[in-house]
Amino acid sequence: MLATIQHKTKTVKIDLSKPLDISMPLKGVASNVNAWYVKHPTIEPHTDGDYVGKVSEGSSTNFNNITFNPHAHGTHTECLGHITEDFYAINEQLKKFFFLAEVVTVAPELLEKDFIISKKQLQYVLGNKKREAIVIRTLPNLSDKKEKQYSNTNPPYLTEEAALFLVSKGIEHLLIDLPSVDKEKDNGALLAHKAFWNINENPRKQATITEFVFVNNSIHDGTYMLDLQVAPFHNDASPSKPVLYKIITNEK
């Protein structure tokens, strides 16, 4: 099924029958991807006295309670409300959902004891391209990312300079396959978050950060149409399902 999207000054054609899902499912098991020192998510039948919300145990329906943290347990999209005293909800700040996105692959480089994604690396992979969104796939890109336990592992992160570069390029939606754009333990500095949302000057309320994506190796670097879908949680962050579509035609 082909769809034609008038995107700013370009007409873009995509095939809706061939979505490329880059989200990770949330499962109620200990092997679910995890970060930030919290227990794994749970998905369990609701109970009330003798009632058990499970068809196999006599209920007419499966009726589960789900306990999770969107930041710790899988693909999620967050707005500036993640780091501000004032409350901002992702379901109110994200008002458009289709964006021209560039998928890039980066091998984080060693800086002292950390692995970082630098401005120089992003300059190289983006060049002169103008995009609304960037999807960063880090190397090595193994399937164990979908079950990795990240707490206390000091994963790679973006430098403040790299985040500022993305802002200068007009990137409003940053997607990455790591638990955070910032260093795991930075004493609350959150330099990349603050830089990307321009917190201290003119906050970019429309900008989003999506963490914990998984970009399969079969998806090549290049330009795609991104459909950024979020659950309508009234919260700073929500579980999300970013989907890429290959661009068939791209007419000026």
Query: DSSP 3-state assignment of 10?
Result: strand
pLDDT at 121: 98
In Å, the largest CA–CA distance within the chain is 64
Segment 185-196, tens digit of pLDDT: 999 999 999 999
Task: Please name the fold of domain 2-26+70-251.
Answer: Glucose Oxidase; domain 1 (3.50.30)
The domain segmentation of the chain, as residue ranges, is: 2-26+70-251
Q: Can you say whether the dihedral through the CA atoms of 223, 207, 189, 236 is positive or negative?
A: negative
What token pair was written down for 123? 């300059």
pLDDT at 5: 76
Task: Measure the CA–CA gap between 153 and 95, rounded to whole angstroms.
Answer: 35
Predicted TM-score (pTM) of this structure: 0.95
| % of the chain exceeding 90 in pLDDT | 93
Residue 252, pLDDT above cutoff 60:
no
Segment 99-132, tens digit of pLDDT: 999 999 999 999 999 999 999 999 999 999 999 9
Task: Measure the CA–CA gap between 243 and 23, rounded to whole angstroms.
Answer: 8
Task: Measure the CA–CA gap between 125 and 105, rounded to whole angstroms.
Answer: 8
Residue 78, pLDDT above cutoff 70:
yes
